[in-house]
Structure 1
Amino acid sequence: MQRETFPVGPLQCNCSILYDEAAHDATVVDPGADLARITAFLTAHTLKLRQIVVTHGHLDHIAGAKLLSEQTGAPVLYHQADLAQLAWMEQQAAWMGVPTPKVAPPDESAEEGTKIVVGTQTGTVLHTPGHTEGSISLLFPESNLLLAGDTLFRSGIGRTDLPGGDTATILRSIREKLFPLPENTEVIPGHGRATTIGHEIERNPFFNE
């Protein structure tokens, strides 16, 4: 499995394209904006989009999912607990100074244990609430790869002061779901630089007071 990650939109959300060129198979994670760049990459590599996965329902991660689905026919997956985030999408757009995006309920809820297949590899959804009630992370153990959304950042955690956020819950999600992973697991956060589980166990200030 190969990965292409690049920042999109005004908040520089990390959008990832996970793909297998031999199988011509791709999954897009968090298409918050820049759909032209995403579709150009799929076309250039002759990839068929199998699914679109959204790690949580904030505008900067979900804004392009419905339109990308309409363009490609690929289903949108996110956790049903984040349907509540859609109710204040207009307010989110006003804060960011962008048009309100077209959003919709998921075609499939990305529950704990849901399998995400990319070519010959199978990833697993980890429900990691705290940033939002339906926040998820995606684990691909064969690639030592974790897409953590806005749950875990390099030396930080996701904010918990927005609707659906809870500090105790996000800390528990990280301790119980993410920190038990192999320390060499590469972590791609929702924004900013990559890190590893080992680095965060040792140096994340939220866990090393």
Structure 2
Amino acid sequence: MKWTQLPLGPLQTNAYVLQNDANEAIVIDPGGDGQAFIQWLTSQQLKPLAVLLTHAHFDHIGAVDDVRNEFNCPVYLHKNELDWLADPNKNGSSRFMGNHAITVKPADNIIEKEDTITIGSFSFKVYETPGHSPGSVSFYLKEEAVVFSGDALFAQSIGRTDLPGGDHQLLLTSIHKKLLELPEETVVACGHGPTTTIGNEMDGNPFLSGF
């Protein structure tokens, strides 16, 4: 299995595409540039089986319907943000995108709790990591030693908590109780910017000291 990071959309949010040897794929957080992203998937001869969302802010969902409609694949989202997809005020697009507010059709599958999601040959452990937003989750692939953290944890930074539903203390708790409990060699595939590792963030992230 391999995975690819693709910055998409107005904020160059990192989308991730995981693929197996059969060219089946999982798409995480397709943030925008829908047609160009579909062209890339097609050029790679990939067949997306599902779209997983770490959360429902506008910069993570802009190409959701493009991918879902093109490949007829279901969308997964945590229950705490189900109504955000269709609400530009909640997903933030009305504030940050002006006349280009984003609305997306409802999710097909609801993440109710921490659990394991298996889709074809792909198996993810879901961790609830709220704080940046109420329904933020992280997807962990133990065999690949990678966690897709959305906007919870970044290289030398953490997610902002000044948006609706944000909670700084809750975010720190999520990071320490969930993400930092993972093996130190685990790659953190962040929602923005470069990848890092759990060990690097334990040792050097200035936002995590003194918790």
Cα gap change, 1:106 to 1:173, in 2 (>3 Å): same
Question: Is 1:187 the counterpart of 2:196 in the alignment?
Answer: no
Matched letter for residue 47 of structure 1: L
Paired position in structure 2 for 1:60: 59
Cα contact 1:150–1:157 (8 A) shared by 2: yes
- Greater CA deviation, 37-46 or 158-167? 37-46
User: What is the CA–CA distance in structure 1 between the aligned matches of 2:173 and 2:39, rounded to whole Å?
Assistant: 39
Cα shift readout 1:78-115 (whole Å, capped 9, x = no counterpart): 11101353431585244234612231221111341141
Cα gap change, 1:23 to 1:184, in 2 (>3 Å): same
TM-score normalised to structure 2 length: 0.91
Instruction: Tell me by how many angstroms 1:176 deviates.
Output: 0.6
User: What is the CA–CA distance in structure 2 between the aligned matches of 1:91 and 1:147, rounded to whole Å?
Assistant: 21
Extract unaligned runs of 5+ from structure 1. Answer: none
Paired position in structure 1 for 2:93: 92
Matched letter for residue 179 of structure 2: L
Matches within 5 A, 1:132-143: 132-143=133-144
Paired position in structure 2 for 1:51: 50
User: What is the CA–CA distance in structure 2 between the aligned matches of 1:122 and 1:99, rounded to whole Å?
Assistant: 35
Instruction: Tell me by how many angstroms 1:178 deviates.
Output: 0.4
User: What is the CA–CA distance in structure 2 between the aligned matches of 1:102 and 1:96, rounded to whole Å?
Assistant: 12
Paired position in structure 2 for 1:9: 9
Extract unaligned runs of 5+ from structure 2. Answer: none
Paired position in structure 1 for 2:151: 150
Cα gap change, 1:195 to 1:98, in 2 (>3 Å): farther
Cα contact 1:89–1:100 (8 A) shared by 2: no
Matched letter for residue 112 of structure 1: E
User: What is the CA–CA distance in structure 1 between the aligned matches of 2:184 and 2:159, rounded to whole Å?
Assistant: 20
Cα shift readout 1:49-90 (whole Å, capped 9, x = no counterpart): 100011111000012112321121100111110135343158
Number of residues of Structure 1 aligned to a counterpart in Structure 2: 207
Matches within 5 A, 1:1-209: 1-20=1-20, 22-86=21-85, 87=87, 88=89, 92-97=93-98, 99-110=100-111, 111-117=113-119, 119=121, 121-209=122-210
User: What is the CA–CA distance in structure 2 between the aligned matches of 1:163 and 1:90, rounded to whole Å?
Assistant: 9
TM-score normalised to structure 1 length: 0.92
Cα contact 2:29–2:61 (8 A) shared by 1: yes
User: What is the CA–CA distance in structure 2 between the aligned matches of 1:91 and 1:168, rounded to whole Å?
Assistant: 21
- Greater CA deviation, 82-91 or 70-79? 82-91
Cα shift readout 1:132-151 (whole Å, capped 9, x = no counterpart): 10001110111111110000
User: What is the CA–CA distance in structure 1 between the aligned matches of 2:134 and 2:28, rounded to whole Å?
Assistant: 18
User: What is the CA–CA distance in structure 2 between the aligned matches of 1:176 and 1:78, rounded to whole Å?
Assistant: 21
Cα gap change, 1:90 to 1:83, in 2 (>3 Å): closer
Cα shift readout 1:141-197 (whole Å, capped 9, x = no counterpart): 111111100000111110111111101111111011100100000001100011000
